[in-house]
Structure 1
Amino acid sequence: MTESVSSIRNLGPAYEASLARVGIRSAEALRDLGADAAYARLLENGDRPHFIGYYVLVMALQGRPWNDCKGAEKDALRVKFDTLKAKHFNKNISALEADLDAIGVGLRR
């Protein structure tokens, strides 16, 4: 049986739905892909960048409480987040355009 994304500690139904929209539909798929690649997919498909959302995902995949991220570790994750955001987030694409692109009928850039 396939394990749901929301079976991972700290990832609830909203995160699961967001990941499903970008083709990540199981905990196994998420673990195989990893936090950075999964978050990049979210950004590429129009999700707004949110640092807490990123580090919650990182902590969840490590099996740690979301608020366990502190100090130098949190600072390093912020650098990774900023890099992902700069590379993968197109502030000019709306969520609707991203959804249309995903099914092949939207404006291609």
Structure 2
Amino acid sequence: MSNTPAEDSVTTIRNIGPALARAGIRTATELRRIGAETAYTRMIETGTRPHFIGFYVLVMSLQGRPWNDCKGAEKAALRETFDAIVARTRQSGGAHPELERILDRIGTGARR
């Protein structure tokens, strides 16, 4: 059980699920404080497989916007940010490099 008051649970933010708790981010306050980039980096480092849609849903949710509101140049810029996060976690060994290598080899890994 968590000591987090229900009103500050990360799940009070629309479209946010349990992957953040697995990354040690349990409160909406903390998530807002650290932001989407740091939160998503932690998620990858704790075993979440990188996926662009998951990242931009997190960004949109923190802005209070519907997940599918991301389009055009904004979506392209978020893709660049996502790719940079994935590259950094791979370089630091935070993502599972062997698994990522295999997924890339069969064509299902995160875009480089």
* TM-score, length of structure 1 as denominator length: 0.76
4+ residue segments displaced more than 3 Å: none
Alpha-carbon distance in structure 1 between the residues aligned to 2:98 and 2:41:
15
Distance 1:63 1:44 in 2: 25
Quote the RMSD (CA, aligned, Å).
1.5
Is the 1:46–1:93 Cα contact (8 Å) retained in structure 2? no
User: 2:98 and 2:26 mapped to 1: Cα distance?
Assistant: 23
More relative contact order in 1 or in 2 (CA 8 Å, sep 6+)? Answer: 1
Q: CA deviation at 1:93?
A: 6.2
Residue identity in the other structure for 1:66: W
The amino acid of 2:67's aligned partner reads W
Q: Aligned runs of 1:27-66 on 2, under 5 Å?
A: 27-66=28-67
Q: Identify the residue that residue 101 of structure 1 maps to in structure 2.
A: none
Q: Which runs of 5+ in 2 are unaligned?
A: 100-112
Structure 1 unaligned regions, length at least 5: 95-109
The offset of 1:52, in angstroms, is 0.3
Residues 9-68 of structure 1: per-residue CA shift (max 9 Å, x gap): 122xxx2x2111121011111111100000000111121000000000000000000000
- What is the aligned partner in structure 2 of residue 4 from structure 1? 9
- Name the count of aligned residue pairs: 90
SS of 1:38 mapped into structure 2: helix
